């Protein structure tokens, strides 16, 4: 065990604390320094016996979080105090009351929002989803809770190396699934980009390392190109008397990987690996015209792509982002993205909501406040299940935006793919409930009509209209989904009341008491999960009460059951059985003990990095760690994830898919099938090839033993004359 030099550690702690003070000295008022010192001393005492997984003193973490909060997000002394204390209540005997007494109500509210839910672990829900929901509830009190939580997550991601692999996967999945989109939605682009990159580093390390290495290799060449590109623009901007700064930065590893996947191209085929940002000093009253002046100068030298102009100055994004984006044809036939903005816009783009307090501009304030108001509306639904809430919330986090107009010309921002019904709920819940259709650009359209940017929408209502089950199939916004679910539940509750009365009368005639024990037995008898479902089915005539006589006869043989508990216990037992003593599921062994299947959403094959997910009714499902569903499963149900590895299964064949593109030459299909069937003796299930104007695109489904077998096959196919690209695809 490594010996600890206490004096060296004390000096290091003090050094880090002084760096923190240096970072926030610009925002310190009278008395702030003493309060920060008290917070530091309190945290130091609270965590004095604690160490991180890396072996470092725990106090390094709260100091680092406070540093991110002030330096990278731009918050003030209250947030620095809260960041230093963010783990104190959770890890010590100190209470929220003690925090309020020492540091005031504002800090206490923030700490309360940051303190995780304690209590019994509920296997039927997701603890992480509940924690996230609780944290968002504090939006109605103080948005700084979210900003400090993001700083906390960013530091944890930066120091994830010392954690076990499965912990890394869980935390990285949560980060990519919830925290990165949230940072994006709050306008924290620098934080969002780093979170995405770090999540990729742990979820797909090989991909991350490869792209990072290739970016490093092409750095010198890229810098030379950037200097050549900006030289004429710089000269002209100076000539026009504009004060400016030009930055050339590579795209994030995460966004490059997304493009490679989306366009099924290699790193070398990504044309816009970097963006040029022109930041100008400009007074507020002429910002817009100055940005367009810069656009005019850029396009005097380089031809713009008319389809790639984005004007977020006239209509800022919902998180307050303002910028002018264009893509131009640069030297050597390379497309280059150019972003044009002022210093104020740049600070809001980098620091989002934190900069919103500094610049009290109406567009920024309204856009962010409106978004927070929408989140509060979703949170007001007391019936909302935490996981449903997270799914609905994410719909609004990830989505691109569009702008539509009311009949009076008022601009409303909605997520892309929103329908007329989404628009109705966006105006007001009561209008949504009574909506029967709409006029879009003066033409009559149904509730499910998908809107487009620039549409003018007039909602048509009827007092007789009520929400229907199928409405959930064609709404996108979280507000519409939560309001429809609430209305349907209320309607179900009213119908269930009638069912309860019917059952009460029936029980009375059969001289049975309507108590909890008998209802639980009846739930088991009819195989219905809840009493609400039972009453509803009785009212709708879906449960035949003639069977009650049979129930009475069997009653003496039925042991009291509580259906939800059976499910919870059986799930716990499954988790224990699946993990066993080694905590590792070996695929190919224990088939008699545990039922498991290869998931159809990603079709893993031996050699793939995989994990097991314990389902309630379907045994264990094996997923690839880069499966589209993996992020959500690991983020929300980490306790049901089992480590898994393959045994040698050379005699078993697994289905895999390969996509090819190439030049359509005579005999190309014959050459492909010869490599697969004759040379490598691989069985094909299907082959589909489409040809268009001399180019073909093909998909082959075949059976392989493992990833090595598949890689060998793909390398051989790449050598066939005329073939341009070969990629593995997911099998659905």
Question: Looking at per-residue confidence, does 635 or 402 come out higher?
Answer: 402
Which of 92, 99, 106, 96 is CA-nearest to residue 59?
A: 92
Q: Is 323 in the same domain as 266?
A: yes
Question: Looking at per-residue confidence, does 542 or 456 come out higher?
Answer: 456
Q: What percent of the chain has pLDDT over 90?
A: 20
458-462, 554-558, 665-669: least confidently modelled range: 554-558
Report the sign of the C-alpha dihedral through residues 509, 515, 520, 521, in that order.
Answer: negative
Q: Is 92 in the same domain as 28?
A: yes
The reported pLDDT for the residue numbered 554 is: 59
The answer to whether 309 and 326 are in contact (CB under 8 A) is yes
Q: Catalytic annotation on 90?
A: yes
Q: Which residues pair with 326 in a beta bridge?
A: 338
- Per residue in 318-337, pLDDT tens? 767 889 999 998 887 788 89
| CATH number where 306 lies | 3.30.460.10
210-219, 356-365, 443-452, 639-648: least confidently modelled range: 356-365
Report if residue 383 sits inside a domain: no
Report if residue 389 sits inside a domain: no
Q: Specify the 3-state DSSP secondary structure of 421.
A: helix
The reported pLDDT for the residue numbered 321 is: 82
Which of 90, 122, 380, 490 is the catalytic position?
A: 90
Q: Is 422 in the same domain as 512?
A: no
For residues 163-179, average pLDDT: 85
For residues 235-244, average pLDDT: 92
The reported pLDDT for the residue numbered 703 is: 83
Report if residue 665 sits inside a domain: yes
Q: How far apart are CA 469 and CA 472, in angstroms?
A: 6
Q: Catalytic annotation on 380?
A: no
The reported pLDDT for the residue numbered 158 is: 93
The reported pLDDT for the residue numbered 341 is: 95
Q: What percent of the chain has pLDDT over 70?
A: 79
C-alpha distances in angstroms, 538 versus 469, 497, 510?
A: 19, 10, 17
For residues 310-314, average pLDDT: 90
Q: Is 87 in the same domain as 184?
A: yes
**Structurally, how many domains does the chain consist of?**
6
Q: How far apart are CA 15 and CA 17, in angstroms?
A: 5
Question: Looking at per-residue confidence, does 110 or 680 come out higher?
Answer: 110
Report if residue 375 sits inside a domain: no
Q: Is 88 in the same domain as 158?
A: yes
81-90, 448-457, 619-628: least confidently modelled range: 619-628
For residues 357-378, average pLDDT: 54
Report if residue 478 sits inside a domain: no
Say if residue 396's pLDDT is above 80: no
Report if residue 416 sits inside a domain: yes
* H or E segment to which residue 373 belongs: helix 362-379
For residues 22-51, average pLDDT: 86
The reported pLDDT for the residue numbered 411 is: 78
Say if residue 415's pLDDT is above 60: yes
Report if residue 694 sits inside a domain: yes
Say if residue 359's pLDDT is above 60: no
Q: Which of 67-81, 130-144, 644-658 has the highest mean pLDDT?
A: 67-81
| CATH number where 468 lies | 3.10.20.30
The reported pLDDT for the residue numbered 572 is: 55
Category of 493 on φ-ψ map: left (φ > 0), alpha (ψ -120 to 50) or beta:
alpha
Q: Is 462 in the same domain as 572?
A: no
Q: Is 66 in the same domain as 207?
A: yes
Q: Specify the 3-state DSSP secondary structure of 504.
A: helix
Could you tell me the strand order of the sheet in which 584-587 lies? 584-587, 641-646, 610-614, 620-624, 596-598
The reported pLDDT for the residue numbered 518 is: 76
Where helices occur in 435-515 by DSSP H, the ranges are: 478-509
The reported pLDDT for the residue numbered 403 is: 80
The reported pLDDT for the residue numbered 66 is: 93
- Average per-residue pLDDT in the chain? 79
| CATH number where 117 lies | 1.10.3210.10
Q: Is 22 in the same domain as 72?
A: yes
Q: Is 221 in the same domain as 188?
A: no
Domain range spanning residue 69?
A: 6-211
- Per residue in 504-534, pLDDT tens? 887 887 777 777 777 877 777 777 777 888 8
Last residue of a domain, one of 646, 669, 704: 646
Last residue of a domain, one of 560, 575, 602: 560
For residues 101-127, average pLDDT: 68
Say if residue 143's pLDDT is above 80: no
Q: Is 19 in the same domain as 155?
A: yes
Which of 304, 293, 311 is CA-nearest to residue 327?
A: 304
The reported pLDDT for the residue numbered 119 is: 41
φ and ψ at residue 412, rounded to 5 degrees:
-125, 140
Question: Looking at per-residue confidence, does 381 or 31 come out higher?
Answer: 31
Q: How far apart are CA 375 and CA 145, in angstroms?
A: 15
- Per residue in 67-97, pLDDT tens? 999 888 888 888 899 999 988 888 778 888 9
- What is the pLDDT confidence band of residue 576, given thresholds at 50, 70 and 90? low
Angle, helix 531-539 to helix 478-509, in steps of 10 degrees: 70
Q: Which residues pair with 338 in a beta bridge?
A: 276, 326
Q: Is 98 in the same domain as 141?
A: yes
Say if residue 60's pLDDT is above 90: yes
| CATH number where 704 lies | 3.30.70.260
Cβ neighbours of residue 383 closer than 8 Å, sequence gap 6 or more:
485, 486, 489
| Total Cβ atoms within 10 A of residue 446 | 12
- What is the pLDDT confidence band of residue 292, given thresholds at 50, 70 and 90? very high
Last residue of a domain, one of 513, 536, 560: 560
Report if residue 254 sits inside a domain: yes
**Whole-structure pTM over 0.85, yes or no?**
no
Q: How far is CA 217 from the centre of its chain?
A: 31
Q: Which of 202-206, 347-351, 370-374, 562-566 has the highest mean pLDDT?
A: 202-206
Q: Is 195 in the same domain as 251?
A: no
The reported pLDDT for the residue numbered 231 is: 93
The reported pLDDT for the residue numbered 566 is: 33
Which of 91, 311, 491, 718 is the catalytic position?
A: 91
């Amino acid at each position: 065990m490594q010996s600890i030099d206490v004096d060296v550690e004390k000096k290091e702690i003090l050094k880090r604390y002084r760096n923190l003070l240096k970072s926030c000295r610009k925002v310190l008022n009278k008395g702030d320094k003493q309060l920060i010192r008290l917070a530091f001393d309190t945290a130091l005492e609270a965590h004095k016996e604690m160490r991180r997984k890396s072996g470092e003193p725990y106090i390094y973490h709260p100091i680092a979080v406070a540093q991110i909060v002030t330096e990278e997000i731009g918050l003030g002394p209250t947030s620095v105090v809260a960041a230093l204390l963010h783990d104190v209540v959770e890890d010590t005997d100190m209470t929220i009351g003690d925090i309020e007494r020492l540091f005031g109500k504002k800090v206490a509210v923030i700490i309360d929002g940051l303190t995780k839910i304690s209590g019994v672990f509920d296997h039927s829900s997701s603890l992480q989803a509940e924690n996230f929901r609780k944290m968002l509830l504090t939006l109605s009190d103080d948005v700084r809770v979210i900003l400090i939580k993001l700083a906390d997550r960013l530091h944890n991601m930066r120091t994830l190396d010392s954690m076990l692999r499965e912990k890394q996967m869980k935390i990285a999945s949560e980060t990519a699934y919830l925290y990165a989109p949230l940072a994006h939605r709050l306008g924290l682009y620098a934080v969002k980009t780093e979170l995405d990159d770090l999540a990729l580093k742990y979820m797909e390390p090989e991909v991350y390392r490869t792209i990072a290495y290739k970016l490093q290799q092409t750095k010198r060449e890229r810098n030379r190109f950037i200097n050549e590109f900006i030289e004429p623009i710089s000269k002209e901007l100076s000539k026009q008397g504009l004060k400016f700064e030009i930055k050339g930065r590579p795209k994030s590893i995460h966004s490059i990987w997304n493009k490679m996947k989306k366009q099924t191209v290699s790193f070398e085929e990504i044309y816009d690996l970097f963006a040029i940002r022109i930041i100008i000093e400009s007074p507020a009253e002429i910002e817009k015209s100055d940005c367009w002046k810069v656009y005019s100068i850029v396009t005097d030298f380089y031809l713009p792509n008319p389809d790639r102009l984005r004007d977020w100055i006239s209509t800022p994004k919902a998180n307050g982002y303002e910028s002018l984006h264009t893509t131009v044809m640069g030297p050597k036939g390379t497309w280059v993205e150019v972003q044009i903005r002022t210093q104020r816009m740049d600070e809001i783009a980098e620091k989002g909501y934190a900069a919103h307090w500094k610049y009290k501009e109406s567009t920024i304030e309204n856009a962010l406040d409106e978004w927070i108001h929408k989140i509060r509306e979703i949170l007001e639904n007391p019936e909302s299940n935490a996981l449903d809430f997270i799914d609905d919330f994410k719909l609004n986090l990830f989505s691109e935006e569009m702008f539509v107009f009311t009949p009076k010309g008022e601009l409303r921002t909605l997520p892309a793919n929103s329908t007329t019904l989404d628009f109705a709920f966006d105006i007001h819940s009561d209008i949504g409930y009574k909506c029967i259709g709409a006029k879009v650009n003066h033409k009559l359209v149904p509730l499910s009509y998908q809107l487009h940017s620039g549409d003018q929408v007039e909602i048509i209502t009827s007092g007789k209209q009520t929400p229907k089950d199928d409405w959930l199939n064609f709404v996108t916004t979280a507000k519409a989904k939560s309001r429809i679910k609430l209305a349907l539940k209320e309607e179900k509750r009213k119908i269930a009341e009638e069912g309860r009365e019917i059952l009460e009368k029936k029980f009375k005639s059969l001289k049975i008491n309507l108590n909890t024990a008998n209802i639980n037995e009846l739930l088991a008898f009819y195989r219905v999960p809840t009493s609400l479902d039972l009453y509803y089915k009785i009212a709708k005539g879906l449960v035949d009460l003639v069977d009650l006589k049979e129930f009475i006869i069997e009653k003496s043989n039925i042991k009291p059951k509580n259906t939800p508990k059976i499910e919870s216990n059986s799930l716990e037992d499954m988790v224990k059985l699946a993990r066993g003593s080694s905590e590792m599921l070996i695929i190919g062994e224990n088939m008699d003990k545990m039922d498991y299947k290869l998931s159809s959403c990603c079709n893993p094959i031996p050699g793939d990095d995989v994990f097991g997910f314990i389902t309630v009714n379907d045994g264990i499902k094996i997923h690839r760690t880069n499966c589209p569903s993996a992020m959500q499963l690991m983020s929300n149900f980490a306790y049901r994830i089992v480590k898994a590895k393959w045994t040698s299964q050379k005699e078993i064949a697994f289905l895999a898919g390969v996509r090819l593109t190439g030049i359509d030459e005579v005999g190309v299909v014959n050459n492909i099938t010869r490599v697969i069937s004759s040379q490598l003796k691989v069985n094909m299930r299907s082959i589909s090839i489409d040809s268009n104007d001399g180019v073909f695109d093909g998909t082959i489904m075949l059976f392989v033993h493992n990833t090595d077998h598949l890689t060998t096959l793909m390398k051989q196919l790449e050598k066939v004359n005329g073939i341009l690209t070969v990629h593995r695809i997911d099998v659905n």
